[in-house]
């Protein structure tokens, strides 16, 4: 499985998928929620699928009867949901400001130490 580079865009998609990991999400729905165009969203989905974090299924409909093409549905795998939670927690930890002690402590009023 190729590793998934955790970018802000990947993290945004994963957070949405983790809201309800068992719920299938449609590509167009994900485009609306993330604000990403198809050219940005679908490569992310392909990388997550290649890594085994995501499954993709085609809706089983008759496009003529439905009046639209079949949708592609995405869902996190059990392992994908676990890894996504760990990766998002690690990213959150990396983004947390350093503890206020030593050099990171705020200066007293007036700016002198």
Looking at 1.10.3720.10, 1.20.140.10, 3.20.20.220, 1.10.10.10, the CATH number of the domain 8-96 comes to 1.10.10.10
The mean per-residue pLDDT over the stretch 42-66 comes to: 92
Q: How do the domains of the chain map onto residue ranges?
A: 8-96
When pLDDT is cut at 50, 70 and 90, the band that residue 28 belongs to is: very high
Higher pLDDT pick, 69 / 101: 69
Q: What pairs with residue 73 in β-bridges?
A: 26, 57
d(CA 81, CA 97): 26
């Amino acid at each position: 499985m190729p590793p998934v580079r955790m970018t802000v865009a990947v993290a945004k998609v994963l957070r949405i998928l983790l809201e309800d990991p068992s719920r299938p999400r449609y590509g167009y729905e994900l485009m609306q929620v993330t604000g990403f165009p198809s050219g940005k969203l679908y490569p992310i989905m392909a990388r997550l699928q290649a890594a085994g974090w995501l499954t993709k299924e085609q809706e089983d409909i008759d496009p003529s009867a439905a009046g639209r093409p079949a949708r592609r549905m995405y869902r996190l795998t059990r392992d994908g949901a676990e890894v996504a939670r760990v990766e998002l927690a690690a990213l959150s930890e990396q983004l947390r400001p350093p503890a206020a002690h030593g050099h990171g402590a705020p200066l007293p009023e007036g700016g002198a130490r």
